[in-house]
Structure 1
Amino acid sequence: MSFSLAPGEVLCLLGRNGAGKTTTLKAIMGLLKARSGSITLDGKELTTLKPHEVPKCGIGYVPQGRRLFSELTVRENLEIGLMTRKSDRKILEESLELFPRLRERMDQVSGTLSGGEQQMLATARALCIDPSVILLDEPTEGLMPSMIAAIRDVVITLRQRGKAILLVEQRVEAVLALADRICLVENGKVQATLPVQALKDDPNLLKRYVGVG
């Protein structure tokens, strides 16, 4: 499993269920121990770090299923993000500008939010650490079309701001709309890394690696 990610780029890991996409994100975050190889950010070795140390290096993680502190309010969840790297309060404001709906729900218990709102909160919490790299695992899973569009627009904005984004996404149409490059993953290995246009030009790649087409 080998790939690189540049500032202002969206790289998508694409493959069937069980191909190793989520496992890759967990390995980057130190939640699963890498058995070999090296994971670096701007020359800094991450492989030996403990999970709570990785976000402090500037990697924001939005896991599949959101993993919010469901009994805490929206505000408290965001404050936890700010505390991770002692981010300036302006970072909170920038996050709320991307998700204005959260501003209306700051004192609401996060477990009572809708699925789309919870996804917004999980993403905003990750942004509160002011990351240079953002890992998004199935961010549109189970969301209604209007929420999917909102998440897509935020990803585009973050890319324009120079964030490096590693995306795991099963919805092919979302991948084609967002990604700059695609890593086709099978059995825990990158089989090919291609510009997204190559996927548009050759639908057989989708059929081979994702089972659609």
Structure 2
Amino acid sequence: MLKLEAVDAGYGRAQVLRQVSFEAQAGEITCLLGRNGAGKTTTMKAIMGLLPLMGGQVRLEAEMLSALPAHQVPRCGVGYVPQGRRLFGELTVGQNLEVGRFSKPDNEGVLEEVLQLFPRLRERFSQRANTLSGGEQQMLAMARALSLRPKVVLLDEPTEGLQPSMIAAIRDVTETMRDQGVAVVLVEQRVEAILALADRAALLENGRMRGVVSGAEMRDDPSILAGHLGV
């Protein structure tokens, strides 16, 4: 279980997150919802140690992630797919996946596992990442994160700008991760995707947590999303 407790974080002197607390359970998809500028990506970066905390803590089971330097967080089992993918464009698909295994090089068989999830990447294995389509690049970014065999995966806007067939493929893999017992934290602006996928949703507003609701509650009461997202 990933747990944030009273997290304060920001950029320099500009504080963005204030007392943010929520949990992401194994085998569940937790959607982090909020308007633009609410602090969703900042929360992801705080979990990964890319932003120093001003207060609070982040734990994964017994491990205090917030006490670790950023490069050690993936070794604890946290995979991160940032908004914009952040691939190594001049490297091939295979080389990007190899980079993804650096933190846990003893993960035997994981390459075949991720290629089974993303058959398109097997076809593009020797192709440079910057020559892939947007959907293929998103697949590669997810496969790279899954090369850790993570306990938690953070997905920041994974379907942004993708065509419907690629969105469906990303959604299917996200559900597969959940079914395999991974805790998924998902930032997603597409309301229909949120409603279909979420086991629970953590609601952010102006850097503060306004509550956590179940996916069933959101589906039964659209006013919850209307109040927090303006939709």
TM normalised by structure 2 equals 0.90
CA distance in 2, matches of 1:43, 1:82: 23
What amino acid sits opposite 2:222 in the alignment?
A: P
Which residue of 66, 72, 75 corresponds with 1:53?
A: 72
Moved over 4 A (4+): none
> Is the strand fraction higher in 1 or 2?
2
1:160 matched to 2:179: yes
What amino acid sits opposite 1:210 in the alignment?
A: L
CA distance in 2, matches of 1:167, 1:95: 19
1:175 matched to 2:199: no
> Which runs of 5 or more residues in structure 1 are unaligned?
none
Aligned to 1:107: 126
Aligned to 2:15: none
Aligned to 2:217: 198
Which residue of 148, 173, 181 corresponds with 2:167?
A: 148
Provide Cα deviations, 1:95-121, integer angstroms capped at 9, x if missing partner: 110000000001100001000000000
CA distance in 1, matches of 2:208, 2:223: 19
Aligned to 1:133: 152
Provide Cα deviations, 1:101-148, integer angstroms capped at 9, x if missing partner: 000001100001000000000000000011110000000000000000
Aligned to 1:184: 203
CA distance in 2, matches of 1:93, 1:105: 14
TM normalised by structure 1 equals 0.98
1:80 matched to 2:75: no
The 3-state SS of whatever aligns with 1:129 is: coil
Of all paired residues, the percent bearing the same amino acid is: 60
> Which runs of 5 or more residues in structure 2 are unaligned?
1-19
CA distance in 1, matches of 2:151, 2:34: 25
Alignment of 1:3-14 (within 5 A): 3-14=22-33
CA distance in 2, matches of 1:89, 1:107: 21
Contact 1:87-1:128 at 8 Å conserved across structures: no
Aligned to 2:52: 33
Aligned to 2:61: 42
